Structure 1
Amino acid sequence: MQRRALLDAARALLAEGGTEALTFPALAERTGLARSSVYEYFRSRAAVVEELCAVDFPVWAAEVEAAMRDAATPAAKIEAYVRTQLTLVGDGRHRAVVAISAGELDAGAREKIRAAHGGLVTMLVAALAGLGHAQPRLTAMLLQGVVDAAVRRIELGAAEEPGTVVEAAVAMALHGVTL
């Protein structure tokens, strides 16, 4: 129960203030534990983020996979891939996944998450192949770059509303820069 409380507190801290807010004193305060007790569960902030990713990424990925499976056409699958990921940006579980790109995890932990993400990319590659792309894997990687850029734009509180960013990313995924 304590470990779960620590993970819940970590999610809240990440959602409120990003990786800088995730400190052991803050975790201790949120859970009512002594700071030394937090160290009994986690050796570092990276260990907290790694566990959040291990717990939360599969749930998050399952939502993206379900949306893609429910889509009827390759183009609809691509739209579901982009739209679902960007819709999840506001979800507290997403903050832990974003923390990876902030360099919070060691190379081994990042590799585990990349491997888990591979299932989503494989689904995207299949959808792109269904549209006739000559290089669906490369296109999938570039498309993920668009998603990553849109995530950062939303997370930074850009001038545009999040919905506007989502629609622009979907349009770029489906139509490139020409409309």
Structure 2
Amino acid sequence: MAEHRSMQRAALLDAARALLSEGGTEALTFPALAERTGLARSSVYEYFRSRAAVVEELCEADFPVWAAEVESAMERAGSPEGKVEAYVRQQLALVGDRRHRAVVAISASELDAGARERIRAAHGGLVAMVVEALGELGHGQPRLAAILLQGIVDAAVRRIELGAAEDPSVVTDCAVAMVLRGVRG
């Protein structure tokens, strides 16, 4: 029985990822989850109390994988500047990834305070990855610079997700250039 519940929960999470990827937050509904998984709508509520609970679990499952991919890209870089560039490029490369969409799909305001805090802490762990590289580049306030750098990444993510007129590679190159010029300054 426990194995069956675990499989159903995994199927619901996969369906949620697909719905978010295909249609954004509006597409993530319990009737849509039920339809995708073949469960009754009432059965979906046995696994999750709300849409926010679905998103919270997706974030808990997917954010560490996403962060590990960013960290791995940074480790492959040979220099502090290369690590900063990898940090930006890898995050923007993940914009189309279903796991990434799940992490950013629903605004934090739809989550309860505990969920927002856990997600904020995970996000803080991501920002912490680049602090050392910024320090190695001689930045006087590497933590503050890392937070601001992440703001550039977040703006680029939104631009790419909007399907802006620019090609995603143009947005990425522009974000990298802004970050590296700012870091050098």
Using structure 1 for the length normalisation, give the TM-score: 0.95
Alpha-carbon distance in structure 1 between the residues aligned to 2:76 and 2:25: 34
Answer with 100-109 or 140-149: which moved more: 100-109
Aligned to 2:71: 65
Superposed, which structure 2 residues align to 1:20-31 within 5 Å?
20-31=26-37
Aligned to 2:3: none
Q: Does 1:95 align with 2:95?
A: no
Q: Does 1:7 align with 2:27?
A: no
Aligned to 2:179: 173
Superposed, which structure 2 residues align to 1:19-168 within 5 Å?
19-101=25-107, 103-168=109-174
The runs of 5 or more residues in structure 2 that have no matched partner are 1-6
The runs of 5 or more residues in structure 1 that have no matched partner are none
Answer with 103-112 or 149-158: which moved more: 103-112
String of CA shifts for 1:138-166, please: whole Å, max 9, x gaps. 11111100000000000000010111101
String of CA shifts for 1:78-124, please: whole Å, max 9, x gaps. 00100000000000001121125453322211211221222222221
String of CA shifts for 1:61-87, please: whole Å, max 9, x gaps. 000011111211110000010000000
Look up the SS of the partner of 1:72 in the other structure.
Answer: coil
Alpha-carbon distance in structure 1 between the residues aligned to 2:68 and 2:23: 26
Look up the SS of the partner of 1:103 in the other structure.
Answer: helix
String of CA shifts for 1:3-32, please: whole Å, max 9, x gaps. 011000000000011111100000001111
CA contact (8 A) 1:9 1:27 kept: yes
CA contact (8 A) 1:100 1:110 kept: no
Aligned length: 178
The Cα shift of 1:177 comes to: 11
String of CA shifts for 1:38-71, please: whole Å, max 9, x gaps. 0000000000000000100010000001111121
Using structure 2 for the length normalisation, give the TM-score: 0.92
Alpha-carbon distance in structure 1 between the residues aligned to 2:101 and 2:36: 18
CA contact (8 A) 1:150 1:166 kept: yes
